[in-house]
Chains A and B, each alone.
Chain A
Amino acid sequence: MAVNSVDGRGVQVDVRELFNLLESNQLKTVDEITEEIQQHLSAVKESWLINSLVDYYYIAQTERVIDILMSVREPHDKHLVEKLADGIKSEKHQLLAMKLLLHVVCKQPMWVHKLIKPPIFPALIRCLKTDTDIPLLMTGVMVITVLLPAIPSLVGKHLPDIFDIFGHLINFNVKKPSSPREGSVPDVFLLHLQVALYGLFHRLYGMFPYTFLTFLRHHYSKKENTAAYEESIKPMLERVRLHPHLISGTRENEMDAKRWKSLEDHDVIVQCAKMSLDQIEGTWEEISCPVASFSHKPILPTAGKTQRKTPTGDWKKLKTSVSSPPQLSPTVTTQDLSPFWSPSLSVGLSTPPPSQQTTPASSALENSLASLHQAQQGTSGNTSTTDTPRGTPPISTEEEKGRGRLKGQREIKKLSLSNKSLPGLVESKSGSSSVPPSPLRAEFTTEPPRGIFKSLPVMQAARELQFDVGSARRSLGTPELLAENLQDSSFSGDGSFRDVEAERSDLMESYSRDAIMKTQTTEEDTDDQEVSDLTKNPVPPMFQTAESVAKFMRSVNRIRFNSMTNEVETILAQEKYSCRRNSRSCPNLHKMPVPEEEVEDPLSRSVSTTFKTSSGTPKVNEMKENAEMMTSTPKTNMSKTSNVTINMASHVVNNITYHRMDSSRSEKESDFMTVLKSVLVPTKVAVCQRCSAQCFTSPNKSDQDLPVPVFETYSPPELLDKHLHLGGDIHAKQLSRIPLTNQDSISWTHFGGMPPADEINILRGQIFMMKNQILYERNKRELHAKRNRRLLRKITTANALEEQTKAQTEQIQILETEIQNLRLSMKLLQEENRRLKQTSESNEYETQVKLRACLSELDDLRSAKTEMNTLLIRQREDQDALKAKLQNTEAKLFQEQRMNQHLKEQVQMTQRLKEQVLQLHKELLLMGELQGKYETKLNIIRNSHHAKPEQDNMITTLRAENKALKEKMKINTLNWDGVGKKIQELEGNLQNKQLSIEELKRQLHLAKICHEDEIKAVEDKYNSICSINQRLEGHIMSLYGQIDQMERPKQAKSGQPDQMEQPNQAKISKPQPSPDSADGTPRERTGSVPTSPPRVKPALTKMSSVPLGCGLAGTPPPVARAGHEASQSDTGKTKSDITKLQPVRRTVTEGSEDTASISSNESGGSLIARRGNTLNSDGEEKSQSSKDSGYNK
């Protein structure tokens, strides 16, 4: 392969394998390979892969490669574009490159704007300008048409080129181009080209009306172009309305990029469509032309067909729904709209509903069948009011029948509206007659299954269909039928089962198909028989050519057989196309698929087969068979549909009035065609009328009663449709008559020959162009879908806003009522106010009058007052003057009186003074006499005074005496001083002496204390010694006692103990004078052990110390000696103790010297004797005595 030479080496093999695998039958491997290539693409940045892919596409023309190439992303787009530009430039791959380009453009990748730039766009332009190959041109035009709304702002500078191309290609219509390669171009091709140009025309007019019209004006003002203008441009212009921009806009304005900024591609398209009056190309609001899309779809096997069908159906419905309102009362419309709207709503303009996983073939078959019924219905709908399914669902009660009938009429219109494409179908062979009724069918076939899911509903549906047909025959719906319809419709829920329905519909349809078939076959109804007969007709040839000729012979069972063949087809189709089935179909797909798939599948299949044959796969033989089958099947389908249309036509004979006009246009006329046209025209007229009613753009539209064709000519798509339809009809009807050689469907290999090349080529080209058209329509549809979603959102928002406004209006009403109330109350208040004002005014007037009177009075009074005041002042002045006078007089009087009094007093005084003067005079006289007397006396005394000497002597003596006394006193004081001093000295001495005495006393006291302590200690010692002695004595006594006890048994006589004691006593009591007393005591001792009593007794006698003192004074040594001896005799050990004792005793005696005399006085010699008696208690006594002596002290 040339492709693989790009990279060479190891990759080569890999790529080849990849590509081979890409064509594999296995769905999985294909997916995997696609995936792998995609990964490669993302990994590799170089161009070789893209280049090789494109090359491979040139060779293999595989859809899969297109798929891959379409989804190429950023780094590779450049390579792809370059490669495509090369392809367009080259002779060899021009067409394919263009096709690929169209695909890419339709896909609208992110880098779509790059397509407008060189190298590709100039190449495209040049190609379009120069080339004459119609398919190529058509594809190119499509590319430009699709590209225009996608990049409106960039396309401006290329507009002249595009216009040129447009003009150039329009001319083809008049003057057929002759290409060097293929000779004269077939007319059909021109039709296709016209369709494409028509689309381009609409785009250009819609987007750049001013420029475009300028161009047209300029271009067709020339003589040589007038023919083309008449032929082509004029009809086109007839189908557009006046673009408002023509008036408002300017040339520069149009080219301005700003204008497109706010618009998206679908907005642009809709804008363009709005300008169109054509049913197919144009739209009222969002409606697009359904026919074109249908007619083109079969060419698109790769993309999801199902995906596309639904929107068109929706549009149609929309159209009908939109168109219906003006003719009906609002209530009815709402009623009517509901069933209409529900499917379209459920379509999910916003989101694509779950997919329908039907196998294409089966669905196709189902659809074909269903379409048949639909067609019947659609036609019957024209005549009878009752049998239209749309009318029935909303009517839930019997009372509404009348309304339903009314509705029915309206529905007829709708039907006709939907059927409007029928005229276009006349010429087409693709059986597009099934297309228009699709909405009907949509409701018709789907709604019953909604409610019921078993065979029963299916049967009912079938019956219904037949009833409808029957009713159509009878040209009037009987009430029973209506009732049945109602019943059926009542089964179906109104829209609640949408989701379920989506899943089940396929099943239902497959059921219904068989069921209907059967019912149809078994039915004795003649009408049905007729239909079946009609349908049967085309079948035989097909089957002859195909597999079972024998089955063909059995015409009775033909339908069953048909079903079988269909099944075979399903299998094949599954093999072939299941992988391409796009899963994102809409729920009401089942409503629509009939027409498209019916047509599509066979066609696409045939296309694919052709592809295969060309690619030269090993399955050629198989494919051939398939191809045979496929080519045959469409024909059957087509024939069926055509039959249906014929049926319809036959039923609607009364409407044939206008077929003549149409027939004049059609070239390949036949009886059927006239009838068909007569059927189709009215519908078209009806549509037009509707459109006039809605758009007010076509003023010369006639009523339904007076149907007049709107346009004298058909628009190119219409023409094409017609052509195709007619072609299909002819094929179906007269195939048997056509020589075999002319039938492209015949397997020529079977006869060992080749079909005429021309025919096949034409057909191929046609298919190719159809595909392109479909692509174009698909693109449009997608954009419309986008718009639909947006609009739906807008609707919801609008609804919300409406709600809001409603609420606000209510509020406003409330407020208004409130305002009115307030106004009323205000009025009342004003009234009151006025009244009050009046009263107040009158009051005021009265008060003013009063006030005035008062004021005048006040003036009078004031003047009177002033007069009175002046009077008063004058009188007061008088009074003052009088008063002053009075006072003066009074003062004078008082003065006089006082003077008088004073004078009187003075007089009295002078009298008294006179008396005194007299008395004093007398006294003066007396004193003078006394003075004289005393003067004389004094003189006498002076003469008699003398002094004496003795007195002086006495004074001197006294003085001397005084002196002597003083002397004496001096001496005495001296003596006194001396004596005083002496006394002082003596006193000091005395004090000293006293101090010393005190000191001595203190010392004495201290010494005394000291000695007392010492004595205490000694006494203590002595006491202890005494106690020791006592103890010792006690001990000795006990020892004696023991000795006595020991000796007593030896000396039994009583004198013994005395003797024993005697010496002892003698020893101790030597100084004792009386032995008698001593005799007594030993007896005591021997009698009892000496205890405390002997101690106590001596304590009572204080004289015990006397002998001691005696001892001291007289004979101390004997005592000591005696003790000494005694101790010596007893124990030698005590010797030292006693020697110690002696000095102690001495000290004791010394201490108690002064007491000795007393005690000696007290105690006589008797006591000394006692002492000797009580030797035992000696110590005690001693201590006692010493104590006593202490006390005495």
Chain B
Amino acid sequence: MVGLQDHFFIASPGDSVESLPEHGGTNKIGAAFETPSGRRLINPKDYMDIISSTRPNLWASLADEVPAWVTEKRNRLSIDRTLKWLDDCLSLDQEKGASTLGAVVGGPNIEHRKKCATEVSMRNVSGFYLGGFGLGESIEERSALLNAVTNILPEEKIRFVSRLGLPEEVLQGVAAGIDLFDSTYIYHLTLGGFALVFPLDILGEAPEALLRNSSNDYTKINLHATIYRKDTSPIVDKCSCYTCQNHTRAYLNHLLNVHEMLAQILLEIHNTHHYLGFFRSIRRALKQEKFELFRERFMESRRVHLMEAVPYS
């Protein structure tokens, strides 16, 4: 229907842009989501109707995703519901779990997370959706929770998490054993007129060169800024995306100023390309068994511009 027949398609109940889980509205009947047309409640049967019509390659089971600050009681309830809904979805699934990502919840409680992960692993699923992240918990507490779950999940099955978008968060997820990510990071960058410029070839450059190279010290640039009015360079030098191969920062600055749709189209092309390039770099580092080094160098390069801003005493 959308003309992307040769692409992979994963379905999950929430949509990071338009349909956020609303745990306050979720009840025993179904999961609640805030959407542009108001709050919607969806039960496993309705959900499976949608799944069987849209026919995704993979789909996450319906979950009661709660943020980190809920009560213990609410948290336990979310696990019970999520497991029940997983079983409901599986019983309605014509493929018997062959495309299912079982949802694992458990909020901020490590023991609950482990217990839920164990339970879900016992079902006949092809992979796992780690729910309840990216809802406002701190980046520090997230690592322990992610690892608690992935340590239990079978190695050979896929792990998917939503709403972790910043490069640092992606690296954190990869370190914990996550395979698939979706987020609104690119979407919001583009809407704001930002373009990603952070260096992708972290391992290729010598550490000193990386820290010294001023044009690559920043994550992103905002093309609304007047400094780009006459900048005839591409967003990122040597980037092979359509936007960088054909257009300049000056033209994008103009398009943003006159509120032309083409600005968002060109920015989205570049940002998507750049972000996917980041994932490619991650995969390469993993294959070379240099992921930890990659992560370390990447984090360092992100702090350089802060160091430069602080005067030496």
Q: Are A and B subunits of one complex?
A: no
Q: Using CB atoms and an 8 Å cutoff, list the residues of chain B in contact with chain A.
A: none
